[in-house]
Amino acid sequence: MRPRRLRGSTPLRRLVAEHRLHPADLVLPVFVREGIAAPQPIAAMPGVVQHTIDSLVDTAHRCVAAGLGGIMIFGVPAAKDERGSGADDPDGILNQALRAVVAAVGDRLVVMSDLCLDEFTAHGHCGVLDEHGGVDNDATLVRYAAMALAQARAGAHVLGLSGMMDGQVGHVRAALDAAGFPQVLLLAYTAKYTSGLYGPFREAVASSLVGDRASYQQDPPNATEALRELALDLAEGADIVMVKPAGSHLDVVAAVAAVSPVPVAAYQISGEYSQIVAAAERGWIERDRVVLESLIGIKRAGARIILTYFALDAAALI
């Protein structure tokens, strides 16, 4: 037996490839910041910026031209408070940006919005704090519902519920349906693991967090628990489910994909991006090759949708 015969040339390898990347598989996460006149570089994420609304719209047009599947928008407000009031303010930076992007490309690109309070709270947590300083799960659900309605009214196609609160999918689904938004999809962050690789993202959103979110994000040693979270999210009405971070939890991506009746997404997070960029800048690895290798690994694990800061770069390489 000579399996090597199938690897003998680039055309042969392409012909027999078991998995393929396509630009439509990819979603570009982007940041839009209030009160800036020009895009601001993010030091910990070379090549990524905090956008103005105008530059964000330009980037959305680039996503369309590249054939990407979608864009995921994160807001960076100028002011924060304890309850994250800017999150559901119709004139808040995220909702303004959603309206602008949907108006520009909403019939040609899936426009997703981050539904979480961490960018908007003075304490940096993903929810409302109780009198002891812990995150109050059920009080937070009320804020998520208000945020969901604001984003739906701004035109978002998909809401990314990233806070890892118990019951968040069902609570938001009920609020949307009652308000006449049954067409808005919910992307559940089914297994969002606590990780040291979120550091660059926290710079990108000017996070106020001190400490970590280990009391509500999933614990890295646990994999079976992700299937319990999956069952709950599906029962509550999730349209898409996601695992994050992707690279360090490919086993969980595979386990979720093996049983999920809805599309599975995975998020190649900021630290994963920055590791590749930093090593490539030092000449230690071939950037383009490793970018595609990392993405095909996520696809092979079972993700049909990949959120990655490399989305535009990868689309040009595919």
- How many residues are recorded in the chain? 318
Q: How far apart are CA 39 and CA 48, in angstroms?
A: 9
The residue among 140, 288, 287, 273 whose CA lies nearest residue 203 is 273
- Residue 278 CA neighbour count, 13 Å, CB half: 10
Catalytic residue status for 80:
no
Q: In what helix (H) or strand (E) does residue 189 lie, and over which residues does it extend?
A: strand 185-192
Q: How far apart are CA 288 and CA 277, in angstroms?
A: 10
Q: How far apart are CA 58 and CA 312, in angstroms?
A: 13
Catalytic residue status for 299:
no
Q: Are 229 and 191 in contact (CB under 8 A)?
A: yes
Neighbouring CB atoms inside 10 A of 67's CB total 13
Query: What are the tokens at 41?
Result: 């570089």
Torsion sign, CA atoms 195, 197, 199, 203 = negative
**Of residues 99, 192, 213, 299, which has the active-site annotation?**
192
**Helices and strands counted in the chain (H then E):** 11, 10
Q: In what helix (H) or strand (E) does residue 273 lie, and over which residues does it extend?
A: helix 270-281
Q: How far apart are CA 191 and CA 221, in angstroms?
A: 12
Q: Are 116 and 73 in contact (CB under 8 A)?
A: no
**Of residues 171, 173, 244, 299, which has the active-site annotation?**
244
- Partners of 270 in the β-ladder: none
The residue among 150, 79, 91 whose CA lies nearest residue 119 is 79
Contact residues for 67 (Cβ-Cβ < 8 A; gap 6+) = 22, 23, 24, 315
- Residues assigned a catalytic role: 192, 244
